[in-house]
Amino acid sequence: MPREAAPARLTDRKRAAILEAAVAEFRESGYEATSMDRIAASAGVSKRTVYNHFPSKEVLFTRILEQMWERGADGLDIPYRTDRPLRAQLLELVEQKMRLLHDPSFTDLARVAIAAGVHNPELARELIARLGDREEGLTAWVRAATADGRLKTHDPVFASMQLQSLVKGFAFWPQIAMGQPPLSAAQQTQVTEAAVEMFLAYYG
Do you know the residue count of the chain? 204
3 state SS of 103: coil
pLDDT in tens, 44-101: 999 999 999 999 998 898 888 777 767 655 555 689 999 999 999 999 999 988 988 8
Q: What is the pLDDT of residue 203?
A: 98
Contact 57, 36 (CB under 8 A): yes
H-helix or E-strand containing 182?
Answer: none
pLDDT at 17 over 90: yes
- Output the average pLDDT for the chain: 86
The larger pLDDT score, comparing residue 83 to residue 117, is at 83
Domain residue ranges in the chain: 1-55, 65-203
Q: Same CATH topology for 1-55 and 65-203?
A: no
Compute the distance between CA of residue 187 and CA of residue 154 in angstroms, rounded to an integer: 32
Q: What's the pLDDT score for residue 1?
A: 45
Other CB atoms within a 10 A radius of the CB of residue 112 amount to 23
CATH architecture of 1-55: Orthogonal Bundle (1.10)
- The answer for residues whose C-beta is within 8 angstroms of residue 67's C-beta and 6 or more apart is 19
pLDDT for 76: 55
How does residue 179 score in pLDDT terms, banded at 50, 70 and 90? confident
Distance of CA 7 to the CA centre of its chain: 31
Instruction: Say what the pLDDT of residue 181 is.
Output: 93
Non-local CB neighbours of 145 within 8 Å, separated by 6+ positions: 80, 86, 151
Q: Which fold has domain 65-203?
A: Tetracycline Repressor; domain 2 (1.10.357)
